[in-house]
Structure 1
Amino acid sequence: MASKRKELPKTSVPEGDTLGKNGLFEKERPSIEQVETYQPPFTPKEQTQILRKVDWRLVPLLSFLYLVSFIDRGNLGNAKVAGLGEDLHLSGIQYNIAVTLFFIPYSLLEVPSNIILKLTRPSIWISLMMFSWGLVITLTGIVQNFSGLLTIRIFLGVAEAGFFPAATYLLTVWYTRYEVQSRMVFFYAAVSLAGAFSGLLAYAIQMMDGVAGLQGWRWIFILEGIFTVFLSFFIWFLLPDSPNMASFLTTKEREFIILRLEQDTGSGRGKVTNNDKVNKRQVIAGLTDWKVWAAVFMYWATSISSYGFTYTVPTVILELGYTAANAQLLTIPIYVVAMIFTIANAMISDHYQQRTPFILLGVSVGIAGFSALLAIPHPQLPGLTYGMLFLATSGIYMSLVPTLCFVANNLAPSSKRAVGMAHLICMGNLGGIAGSNVFLSQEAPHYWTGYGFY
């Protein structure tokens, strides 16, 4: 006769537990069997309140940092409209070359950066990166010629390389598989807001033209760079590294976050851990997993147009007959609408626990927008051209977040996930090299290659 399986007691976290130096609890952690029967010592309402505490501490901070990052990376387009090209005597495709060079170190260093992230702490590594790229942006304001611009863009690519993969990985350490995209989208919506704020800031800052004998476009780099350097000193203390080390949570709340993540396996077997150490085997696994390579092609579908389009939108609007100042301002509504569509698409995706249909939805919207831009007889119908910029931009951003989450949801343990996500972003950002060279000045105002590449 088969023996009846003894029911294991439900576990709870003793009041006296404290965190040790390695981030684990001093007393014995629950066994795998106990974790499977773990019942949180909180009501559903209290569990929601704990997650809201994490949301408010982590998501707005990362979103703001990415907003700053994207503004610093993309302000070259605003500076061009404000007179950078004329003052540095850029001709032909020299502007495109300057944009392109950024992406070479930016792409190649993302995987090494996430490996360093796993060996150190996110708060330390991210604050160091911010200080570095803020310093580089500030120095861009004193560039005098084309060769100087190329040099400074290479250094900016080195400094910014690790931030995006580090931030997206950090979100996966805190949230379950079908919670992460609803949070990541607010982080990634900062890309849309960055386009809006970048135009607004550039519009205001370029009014300083002549102050201290400097052109307005130089002040765009100097002021935005100094702000980033200043901000980096606070990130060291404000950014939480992991649930194990979250000082803003109680001991029981930390245990609740850790154990619910351990049970979020997708298969219903085993457990998930974010405390594993990076090793050679996990690095190779993250670089060779077929799911990452499948996602790379999906990422390329939008990253090429995303990077090229971001640097070109102010110029496209300028060519519709608006002044440089108004061209900066008119980029704002485009990115705000894109942000709204991106958030809606991601939250519905999490609700239905699906990724692929929502990737395809974004791609379809983008195709419709770019096809219309190809068909419009430029420079006629400027209003219709401006309207289609909304559709094209929304489609680009709608599909990127589900693609990232597709990979994040399917890689474990955390070391493999950190490398795999960085590898995806690395390969995807190589699309920035192509994107920087598909919107060609000699094709203005039609941009056949740029609009047609999507």
Structure 2
Amino acid sequence: MDTEKVETVNDVDLVEYQEKEFLAAEPDLTAEEKKLEKRLVLKADILIVGMTALVFLVNQWDRGNIGNARVMGLQKDLNISNAQFYDAVSLYYVGYVLCIIPANLSIRFFKAHRQIGGCVIIFATLSCCMAAAKNAAAILALRILFGFASTFLQALTLYTSLWYKRNELAIRSGVFYSAATIAGGFSGLMAYAIQKNLDGALGHAAWQWLFIIQGCAGIFVGISSWLLLPPPPDQIKDLKHWIFSKAELEVAIKRLKTYNKAGAGFDKRQMLVAFKDPKLYCCSFMNAGVALGLASISAFLPSFIQQFDFSPTRTQLFSIIPYACAFVTLLVVNIASDRTNIKGPFMMLCFSFSIAGYIILMVVNNVKVKIFGTCLITMGIFPCVTLLGAWTSINVGGFTKRAMTWGVAEVVGQCFAIMASHIYTDPPRYLKGHSICLAFQILGFFSALFMWFHMRHLNGKKEEEAANHQAAGTVHPMSHQSLEEAYDYHPDFRYIL
């Protein structure tokens, strides 16, 4: 692209400039449309954020309940060795990695409500099937299938970017991903209640009841998602929907055009463009640290806490505390990042929390201080998940380029999540696992720092080019293009730092 070419402004240029396909500013809404926008956002928050929060809650339940089940006797009852258990944890991510990029690109093809609802029904059914497993082989097979199904939830990041503006994403992502922290804490509380009251009921062990109850809840949420969630606004046929009026959907499409091109879909040219962008590699390095920490917390938190010499029931109770801390931090950080329109510094702050937490777990022996260190890790890791997804989505132009950037980052992240299941093999202090996680938290911190400086530099160059064109009375040659043509290199596009 020839960014130095100069075009002189004439009457035709001015008309085209006013009708260019990418609107860098807020959508031009009338007073009536602004009222409609408030109703639209309120309805979207209730329906989309509410349903998505439930989806994340049941996914985190079913994804992490193998850690609780281990404490409840799964490993002993099925004669599963430590190595086989670690394989069961890691095979989830094998299935995940294989499908992640197609899952990001398919949201336009399958329609959001079908893809999200369908995959929830499938993985929740597989969770129920875990209760019937009789040996390690069955557990291993079900875990890899569970990973395949769960992958398709990752398109939620792209889906929400089609309903919300750039300065609205982090708050919404924080709200629905906070459900994951609630799930982690509530899963511990539920496991405690099941262990105490249902162990042996109807001939089933406590860990079997855990899979059955959480799986059935997931099936209900999956069916609800299929029936209730709307497609992206530009894919709703005839602009008719049971909760949104036609006028509200017209406003939604106007909002969508400030960052997307209506009807945009797969474009193979953007795949190569994505790999030429340094942001893809920065996001991948950051996600390596995030996914490694998240996977270790999801699968091994009960095991960490049990090493503090707690009984199984007290272990389940104490596992609630780190998730409660993460829940509060997740909401505070995401709300603050959207209100200030800042992402990078908050990412670095959260990485700093998790770095401090891993150091504490490695060097301190006091149980109370170790619990504090564990809380610091969850307070850092969980906000990073939503911040990174939002920071990536709002700074990559072009539907396919955005999908590829986030998809590759997720592939890299989940490869490191596989590693998480094989590094925590040296109880009781788990020094090897903690030190590896620490190293990748540090890598994530410096990747965020580099990406922040890189995008700040690009914003400065665009400001300088805009000033030069204004002084010369010219229009940038790429000004009339959409983000599907110019990507985030568009002269009016500004990166959110």
TM interval, shorter chain, is 0.7 to 0.9
Please name the residue that 1:282 is paired with: 270
How has the CA–CA distance of structure 1 residues 152 and 7 changed in structure 2, closer, same or farther, with 3 Å as cutoff?
closer
Which of residues 390, 394, 401 in structure 2 aligns to 1:405? 390
Q: Counterparts in 2 of 1:255-334, with a 5 A limit? A: 255-264=250-259, 272-286=260-274, 289-334=277-322
How has the CA–CA distance of structure 1 residues 255 and 31 changed in structure 2, closer, same or farther, with 3 Å as cutoff?
farther
Please name the residue that 2:433 is paired with: 450
How has the CA–CA distance of structure 1 residues 247 and 31 changed in structure 2, closer, same or farther, with 3 Å as cutoff?
farther
How has the CA–CA distance of structure 1 residues 6 and 216 changed in structure 2, closer, same or farther, with 3 Å as cutoff?
closer
Give the distance between the partners of 1:175 and 1:314, measured in 2 at CA: 36
Q: Counterparts in 2 of 1:175-190, with a 5 A limit? A: 175-190=164-179
Give the distance between the partners of 1:365 and 1:33, measured in 2 at CA: 41
Q: TM-score, normalised by structure 2?
A: 0.79
Please name the residue that 1:127 is paired with: 117
Give the distance between the partners of 1:113 and 1:224, measured in 2 at CA: 24
Gaps of 5+ in 2: 1-8, 439-497
Give the distance between the partners of 1:311 and 1:338, measured in 2 at CA: 16
How has the CA–CA distance of structure 1 residues 50 and 447 changed in structure 2, closer, same or farther, with 3 Å as cutoff?
same
Could you tell me which amino acid in structure 2 is paired with residue 416 of structure 1? K
Does 2:244 match 1:249?
yes
Whether the 8 Å contact between 1:286 and 1:423 is mirrored in structure 2 is no
Deviations 1:405-452 (A, max 9, x none): 221012222233233322222221222111112221xx2221101222
Give the distance between the partners of 1:145 and 1:344, measured in 2 at CA: 43
Give the distance between the partners of 2:406 and 2:30, measured in 1 at CA: 30
Q: Counterparts in 2 of 1:82-161, with a 5 A limit? A: 82-161=72-151
Could you tell me which amino acid in structure 2 is paired with residue 260 of structure 1? R
Please name the residue that 1:356 is paired with: 344
State the shift of 1:83 in Å: 0.3
State the shift of 1:5 in Å: 8.9
Whether the 8 Å contact between 1:302 and 1:400 is mirrored in structure 2 is yes
Stretch of structure 1 that moved more, 396-405 or 330-339: 396-405
Deviations 1:138-173 (A, max 9, x none): 11111111222111111111111111x111111101
Does 2:341 match 1:346?
no
Deviations 1:333-355 (A, max 9, x none): 21011111121112211122222
How has the CA–CA distance of structure 1 residues 418 and 248 changed in structure 2, closer, same or farther, with 3 Å as cutoff?
farther
SS at match of 2:423: coil
Which of residues 59, 66, 73 in structure 2 aligns to 1:69? 59
Give the distance between the partners of 1:228 and 1:251, measured in 2 at CA: 32
State the shift of 1:43 in Å: 6.7
Give the distance between the partners of 1:347 and 1:314, measured in 2 at CA: 29
Give the distance between the partners of 2:53 and 2:22, measured in 1 at CA: 36
Please name the residue that 1:421 is paired with: 406
Whether the 8 Å contact between 2:322 and 2:375 is mirrored in structure 1 is yes
Stretch of structure 1 that moved more, 280-289 or 339-348: 280-289
Give the distance between the partners of 1:189 and 1:41, measured in 2 at CA: 34
Please name the residue that 1:14 is paired with: none
Q: CA RMSD in A?
A: 2.4
Please name the residue that 2:219 is paired with: 229
Question: How many aligned positions are there?
Answer: 419
How has the CA–CA distance of structure 1 residues 260 and 148 changed in structure 2, closer, same or farther, with 3 Å as cutoff?
closer
Deviations 1:192-232 (A, max 9, x none): 11211111221222331212222111111122222222332
Give the distance between the partners of 2:82 and 2:40, measured in 1 at CA: 55
SS at match of 1:275: coil
State the shift of 1:286 in Å: 4.3
How has the CA–CA distance of structure 1 residues 314 and 236 changed in structure 2, closer, same or farther, with 3 Å as cutoff?
same
How has the CA–CA distance of structure 1 residues 114 and 352 changed in structure 2, closer, same or farther, with 3 Å as cutoff?
same
Stretch of structure 1 that moved more, 284-293 or 118-127: 284-293
Give the distance between the partners of 1:222 and 1:395, measured in 2 at CA: 31
Could you tell me which amino acid in structure 2 is paired with residue 324 of structure 1? P
SS at match of 2:386: helix
Whether the 8 Å contact between 1:181 and 1:402 is mirrored in structure 2 is yes
Whether the 8 Å contact between 2:33 and 2:251 is mirrored in structure 1 is no
Please name the residue that 1:11 is paired with: none
Deviations 1:253-273 (A, max 9, x none): 211121123134xxxxxxx31
SS at match of 2:167: coil
Which of residues 438, 442, 449 in structure 1 aligns to 2:423? 438
Please name the residue that 1:15 is paired with: none
Give the distance between the partners of 1:390 and 1:332, measured in 2 at CA: 10
Please name the residue that 2:441 is paired with: none
Whether the 8 Å contact between 2:360 and 2:369 is mirrored in structure 1 is no
How has the CA–CA distance of structure 1 residues 300 and 33 changed in structure 2, closer, same or farther, with 3 Å as cutoff?
closer
Q: TM-score, normalised by structure 1?
A: 0.86
Determine what percentage of the aligned residue pairs are the same residue. Answer: 27
State the shift of 1:390 in Å: 1.1
Give the distance between the partners of 1:373 and 1:329, measured in 2 at CA: 20
Could you tell me which amino acid in structure 2 is paired with residue 189 of structure 1? S
Whether the 8 Å contact between 1:119 and 1:278 is mirrored in structure 2 is no
Whether the 8 Å contact between 1:79 and 1:217 is mirrored in structure 2 is yes
Gaps of 5+ in 1: 9-29, 265-271
SS at match of 2:82: coil
Structure number with the higher helix fraction is 2
Which of residues 167, 173, 188 in structure 1 aligns to 2:162? 173
